[in-house]
Amino acid sequence: MINQLAALLEAPLHNQSNGKVDTPRRFGLGLLLAMGLLLTGCSAPTGVKFISASSKPADLTQVMVATSRLPSDKSDFNGRRNRVISYASYAVSVPPIHKVGQIEWPQRDPDPKRHFAVAASQLYQSEEAFRQALNARLNAPGVRGLDGKREAMLFVHGYNTDFSEALYRAAQMKHDFELPFPLTLYSWPSAGKPELYMYDRDSVKASRDHLADLIGLLNRSDSDQLTLVAHSLGTELLMESLRQLALSNHGHLPKKIGAVILISPDLDMDVFNSQLAAIKTLPPEFVIFVSQKDDALALSSFLTGDHGRLGNTIDVSKIKRGGIQVIDVTDFEGGDEFNHMTAVTSPSLVTLIKGLTKSGQRGMLTNQGEQSSVSQKVVSTATLPISLVVRTTSAIFDRD
């Protein structure tokens, strides 16, 4: 598919008035056509769907939400930008027929036996009300990790994602990975339309302050540790916000940040290294999931002049900081058509990561004390005949 799209972009368009090749128009139209061809199939039904009052919800998954989208009604948000953050929580019903890695999309009248749907929602009138609700969940029985710590997770979605898709994806991740601790979705104002890529990129720039403020709020909660997760274009937003936080605090990040996880990052390598340079000390865990089969990032690389994206980079020597774990999931089959969300849609990979986490072996993904420029290991479980390659950058690249 990528070769076909590349040919489409390279085919010149002729100006009918003078017969000359119209290069700017060729690229602009080609960009829209390519993005549409590649990503239209990813679009999901829009709008938050509630189950009827007479229906009994299935397995409920709780998702906290902070969003800088404009509200479209009391429980839903659109793709327009807001100057303030809205706070909410949603109880998402996951159907009993649910398959790991998938979202069973609701129709006009969702059936909780067959579809993801919302059973209940609550809007918080202030940042403090949201923080109190989050603290109540952090201090509830059974939410502490194996180490006894109260953990909170933040998820930042990617490009071409409307609010309902972001909400259901967050619920799918929390459900499939069996996360006992609270998960907060930060939903930035993506238009949710493939042809509005530049709008989404501008929305990322407009959302940096909001996300930095939210991370500060989570750091002031009762959590002992924060795990920050971002996907695709959302990784640029997360890294820009972390850079901003570091620059405002003499190069230091909030102390509670224990892990940063970047999934299929649509991020230029030079930009990534410049963001890292602003941070004196990285969190104890810094993980990047990459794949050479990611069709969306292959297109992004082509459109940016064959500059490789961080999410399809296997050569970790290009990353100029040590201690970053690069997990190559190329050999796994993603549950999405373009292998752009393999880390959370591949049933095999979800099973492997969940098994390591639940058994307290998440540290297996970290290489300690390596002296070579790049260290490598293979991680697998005794019960699952699948492994993944983990490469870790060496400290010789660390900033002075």
Q: What is the DSSP string of 260-311?
A: EEEES---BHHHHHHHHHT-SS--SEEEEEE-TT-HHHHHHHHHTTSPPBGG
Work out the mean pLDDT of the chain and round it to a whole number: 83
Task: State the pLDDT confidence band at 45, using cuts at 50, 70 and 90.
Answer: low
- CATH fold group of domain 50-397: Rossmann fold (3.40.50)
Predicted confidence at residue 11, as pLDDT, reads: 43
Across 47-61, 94-108, 213-227, 303-317, least confident range? 303-317
Predicted confidence at residue 360, as pLDDT, reads: 54
Predicted confidence at residue 308, as pLDDT, reads: 76
368 pLDDT more than 90: no
Residue 99 structure tokens: 């398959």
Give the span between the Cα atoms of 306 and 333, in whole angstroms: 25
Predicted confidence at residue 361, as pLDDT, reads: 52
Top pLDDT among 52 and 61 is at 61
Averaged over 169-192, what is the pLDDT?
A: 97
Domain ranges of the chain: 2-41, 50-397
358 pLDDT more than 90: no
Averaged over 128-147, what is the pLDDT?
A: 92
Residue 287 structure tokens: 């993980």
Q: Which residue type does 164 have?
A: S
In the chain, what's the furthest Cα-to-Cα distance?
73
Q: Residues of the chain with pLDDT > 90: what percent?
A: 62
Averaged over 129-145, what is the pLDDT?
A: 94
Across 75-79, 185-189, 359-363, least confident range? 359-363
Predicted confidence at residue 68, as pLDDT, reads: 98
Task: State the pLDDT confidence band at 398, using cuts at 50, 70 and 90.
Answer: very low
Top pLDDT among 348 and 380 is at 348
Distances (CA, A) of 6 to 118, 160, 171, 291: 40, 21, 35, 20
Top pLDDT among 241 and 144 is at 241
Averaged over 197-210, what is the pLDDT?
A: 96
41 pLDDT more than 50: no
Q: What is the pLDDT of residues 92-134, one digit of tens each?
A: 999 999 999 999 998 888 999 999 999 999 999 999 999 999 9
366 pLDDT more than 90: no
Give the span between the Cα atoms of 8 and 248, in whole angstroms: 45
Averaged over 181-202, what is the pLDDT?
A: 95
Predicted confidence at residue 109, as pLDDT, reads: 86
Q: Which residue type does 55 have?
A: S
Entry pTM: 0.85
Q: Which residues contact residue 268 at a Cβ distance below 8 angstroms, ignoring those fewer than 6 apart?
A: 304, 307, 309, 310
Q: What is the pLDDT of residues 276-319, one digit of tens each?
A: 999 999 999 999 999 988 988 988 878 777 667 899 887 888 99
SS3 62: strand
Of these ranges, 1-5, 258-262, 358-362, the one predicted with the greatest mean pLDDT is 258-262
370 pLDDT more than 80: no
Averaged over 172-180, what is the pLDDT?
A: 96
Query: Which strands, in side-by-side order, build the sheet including 387-393?
Result: 117-124, 77-94, 59-71, 183-187, 151-156, 225-231, 257-263, 285-290, 325-328, 387-393, 374-380
In contact, 258 and 284? CB cutoff 8 Å: yes
Predicted confidence at residue 288, as pLDDT, reads: 96
Q: How far is CA 198 from the centre of its chain?
A: 19
Give the span between the Cα atoms of 247 and 286, in whole angstroms: 19
Predicted confidence at residue 30, as pLDDT, reads: 52
Strands 325-328 and 285-290, sheet pairing: parallel
Terminal Cα distance for the chain, rounded: 44
- Among positive and negative, which fits the CA dihedral 242, 243, 249, 255? positive
